[in-house]
Amino acid sequence: MTNRLLKQVVGIDVAQKELVVSLGKMDDMAAMTVYANKTFANTKGGFMALISWISKHTDQAYPLRFVMEATGVYHESLAYYLFDKSYSVSIVMPNKISNFFRTLEIKTVTDKSMSAAIAMFGMEKQLDNWVPPKRVYRSLRQLTRERSQLVTERTIIKNQLHAELSEAFPGDDTIRRMQDRIKMVDGQLKEVLTEIRGAINNDKGVKAALDMITTIPGIGLLTAAVILAETNGFELIRSKKQLTSYAGLDVREKESGTSVKGKPKISKRGNKHLRKAMHLPALSAIRHSERYKAVFVRVVSRNGIKMKGAVAVQRKLLEMAYTIYKTNKPYQKGYLQEMVENS
C-alpha cells in the first residue's frame, strides 16, 4: 500500500544569477524525502523552465509549496511570478533557515545542501502564504535606495572637488564640471524627497505609522521610511531578535575553545540598507538623548568596545520602531528605561 502524500515542497536557494532547487515530499507517515535537485537561471526563462521541470517531478493531485529565503531583492521576481501563477509561496527570514540548517546532520554548506535544507524546513513547518507587499512600500524602497545612492555620489564628487581645490594648480574647467554635477545631484535629491513625501502622504496608514515611529529620538522621516520600506511594514518579522538578525545587527564573536579571538563584529549578513539607515540616527541619539546615551555607556563600560555600544543603540532604535509599529503607541521614555534595565 502506497502512503498518501501530505506535502510537496520546492526549496529554492536564490542567488543573483541562479536558483538552486530541491524537491521534497512528506507522506502521511511523516517520512520526509528530498529526491531531486536542479539549477535554473534567475530569469523569466529560468522560471518557465523551473515550472516545466517541477510538473514532471511532482504529483499534481497533491499540494505544492515553494519556499525561499528573503535574500535582498533577488528572490522577488520569482516570488511575483509564482504568485501570479497562483502557486503557494512562502518567504522565510534567513536566520530561521540558518538556525534550522544547524540542526541537520550536514557537514558541508553548499547551494545544493542549502536548498535541500529549505525544502526540509518547508516540510517540517506550517508556513504562511506570502502576499506581495503594498505598492507604497515598493515605491518607498526604490526611492529611499535611490536617495542613498545619490547622497553617496554627491559625497564622492565633493571629496574630488576638495582634492582638486587643494592642488597647486587647480583646473578651472574641472572645478566647474564638478560643481555642475553637484548641483545636478542636489536637484535630483530634491525630486526624490518630493516623491518620497508624496508616496507617504498618499497613504494614510503609512503616514500614521511614520508619525508614530518619528517620535523616537534620533529617527527622522527618511529613516522611518527606510525601516518600513525595507521590512515591508515588518511583514515577515515575528520578534525583535528576528528583526535585528534581518538587519545584520546581531553581534557575533569569534571563539576558539574558551578564549575569544578578535573583537566581536556584527554579522553584516542582513539587509545592508536597513543597517546603514540606523547608523547616523544612533550617533544622534547617543549625543542628544540621555537615555540612549545610558545604553551606550552601559554596554561600553561592560566590554570597552565602542562599536558594540553603538550597535546596541542601533538595535534599540530598530526594536523600538518595531514595538511602536505593532502597538500603535508613540514613544515614551519609560519604554527605554525598561530596555536599559533588561539589556
Residue 251: per-residue pLDDT: 60
Query: In the listed set 161, 178, 202, which residue is the last one of a domain according to the structure?
Result: 202
- Flag whether 129 is in a domain: no
Residue 330: inside a domain, yes or no?
yes
Residue 271, φ and ψ in degrees, nearest 5: -75, 110
CA distance 82 to 132: 11
Express each pLDDT in 11-25 by its tens digit: 999 999 999 999 999
**pLDDT at position 343 over 60:** no
Assess whether 341 and 216 both reside in one domain: yes
Residue 337 in any domain: the answer is yes
* 145, 273 contact by CB (below 8 A): yes
Domain CATH code at residue 51 = 3.30.420.40
Among 93, 70, 81, which residue's Cα sits nearest to residue 141? 70
Retrieve residue 35's grid coordinates. Answer: 529526491
Q: Do residues 71 and 34 both lie within one domain?
A: yes
- CA atoms of 50 and 36, how far apart (whole Å): 12
The pLDDT tens digits for 95-147 are 788 888 888 877 778 889 999 999 999 999 999 899 888 899 999 999 999 99
pTM over 0.85: no
Give pLDDT tens digits for 43-91: 999 999 999 999 999 998 888 999 998 877 789 999 999 999 999 999 9
Q: Which domain range does residue 271 map to? A: 205-343
Residue 233 maps to a domain: yes
**Contact criterion met (CB below 8 Å) for 59 and 3:** no
Q: Is 54 within the bounds of a domain?
A: yes
Rounded to whole angstroms, the Cα distance separating 156 from 224 reads: 25
- For residues 181 and 213, membership in a common domain is answered with no
Q: Pick from 64, 90, 124: which residue ends a domain?
A: 124
CA distance 317 to 39: 40
Write the burial class of residue 29 (CB in 10 Å: 0-12 exposed, 13-18 middle, 19+ buried).
exposed
Same domain, 113 and 145: no
Whether residue 300 lies inside any domain: the answer is: yes
Residues 139 and 257 reside in one and the same domain = no
Q: How many CB atoms lie within 10 A of CB 283?
A: 16
Cα–Cα nearest to 70, from 138, 135, 130: 130
Q: Are residues 342 and 212 in the same domain?
A: yes
Does residue 212 sit within a domain? yes
For the chain, the domain total comes to 3
Final residue of a domain: which of 164, 179, 202? 202
Cell of 58: 511532482
What is the percent of the chain where pLDDT is above 70? Answer: 90
Same domain flag for 15 and 108: yes
Half-sphere exposure in the Cβ direction for 184 (13 Å, CA): 8
Query: d(Cα 120, Cα 10) in Å, to the nearest integer?
Result: 9
Residues 18 and 105 in one domain: yes
**Is the same domain home to 170 and 190?**
yes
Residues 195 and 210 reside in one and the same domain: no
Same domain, 262 and 141: no
Q: Are residues 263 and 342 in the same domain?
A: yes
Is position 21 within any domain? yes
- The residues, any chain, with a CB within 8 Å of residue 164's CB and separated by 6 or more, are 170, 171, 174, 175, 178
Amino acid, single-letter form, for residue 221: L
Question: What is the per-residue pLDDT across 142-176, written as a single tens digit (0 to 9) for each?
Answer: 999 999 999 999 999 999 999 999 999 999 999 99
